[in-house]
Structure 1
């Protein structure tokens, strides 16, 4: 794939087009692209760069300390030389980085396996050595005359992300140290010969320690000296907005873009809800809901509205027509799967459960205030009024109101039937006002 011009320069042959695939899969490749995308002032140029890189318009990439270079061809086949500059580490920074690397044999082994250990990057940053670029660190130069990242330098950066995925040592070369020099320095620091031992024997011992990996007891012991986890972040006020589907690549057959957009939005909302519950209850006490059925999940996904075509598919998936789905969605909004079960499930109340229900109803009001109730199963309807109480299997009472011949959920649940019924009256009063 590549050839060595010297230890301080590597030239990579052009990569094939990247149709339908991400430019970076590793965490360090994504960090490289984040530095580009966070600092770019013109998103249109980033899109142009992605198009060029996907089309295979980036030629051979030359990587040298502090600079990457390639010829990028526009759609009209005109060629532009694109350069991206990244500052090199100075001698003192390299010394700190090398010392940190040899502190753990696993770091050296990971680099030899073309992996970038997260702990190495974090420890280096704490010591004032930034391996990965940050916002504004990638300086663009192009003979097209652009003063910021243009489509040509953006395309080069997207292509380099693919190279970094395959070999993170490319990043270290950009920072000023080639692979042979780097490994030589690491071996020299790893050598600790006993009295009378030769330097060659020390180097052999260092190489053997790398080949045999990391001792399990040593790796386990490291856990005792790791810093504590940071404090939990504040809960965002609302769910984030999922990334826009702005790719120029048409969706594959059978992929519904509207449905995918809606699914991403609902996933963000559900993640926000679960995080709020976990932070409220404490991470150790937070529970997890049972797995939803397809019909239940379709109701959950219908929350917040959806495009007409998506709504039709959700109604079909839930086994309901559009009006029944609207009632189910209202129930879910009030109480999740438990409220949905109360909406759709009628069951016979008997035995101890019936005794408890009657005691709750009789104790909820004074005799002269108690409404007349007609019961069918777990449903108690107020005689002469379009209101109803439904008993859930968990002993909670849910208020319902009749609308256009259908019973619809009208509020949250309560352990006290009078409180549940009062919420209906309060809602009716607000509506009258």
Structure 2
């Protein structure tokens, strides 16, 4: 008989910690009255802090911030090791509805996921005093977050320093799902042009004597070579690889002759995505999979990312990098009018902006464009419509989620 898991315990535990941290029942009651007005802006959850905004009577906007101590990488590793060792790990933690069994530190390696009162600090812009202490706005922010955790506790993982997606990936690996392939020596392929793989050194063939000069007929037709060339000596790639590299160079030259600039790939991964999308590179797909350490699903998503966004799209799929908080804040403001659940939380991590309630994620690429993603099967995958305008990219993400009309 399966156990029915619940999630409300997360909300209760965080509410208790917030109440203790505030230390004033009247302040907590004022925060609840503020929530009841429905005037709160979107709830943004980041690593180590959450934010929102409230309009004030004088026309100004109060911007509270809830700061929470994040867990170290070693603590997170211990938590994940403990969870993944459970036989029912997928049931209790495999979706965003994480079981509140894990709110008990006994089930997370002795490390509490819910912050204690001493892990919580408040700031707000409403008054100078609130810049370093709790106010009704900052306590209301915490209670709003606690209410979100009642049905979807996953944002708590981001708040404490490591998004829930990391744990989900480990659980998929454990179950033999979309697990990364073990690192193996890459098969001979165009990858050798980027990373030289060690090969046994062969003795050099004996040097043939130089033939005597002959008269060449350069005017009449000569037959083409009709036999296979000998294998190139080590450490050169094999003949198939050299032919593919020559075909790739010819393709680039043809692109230039046609008056177009070949795509500039910022890294090896995006260049491999470009190469295997071409006819002469398709045969080396498995070599690219091994080199990048992706699984089959991941390689398919990488090719989609390149198809929809070129090298920038591939780079945004493969690499995460930190961006300025103001850039993320501007993007949030731009997409806010388009969100179907305006008060649902938004998670920010590195260059990722995730609206889990809408099922849309935007990733900021090295080419200053936003790339839309959706997760119809639980894993974020790229969809068409990258744009320098985050609102336009968000619209593309929503459009991609709509069912396609069949022609009459």
TM-score of the two chains, using structure 2 as the length reference: 0.39
Structure number with the higher helix fraction is 1
Larger radius of gyration: 1
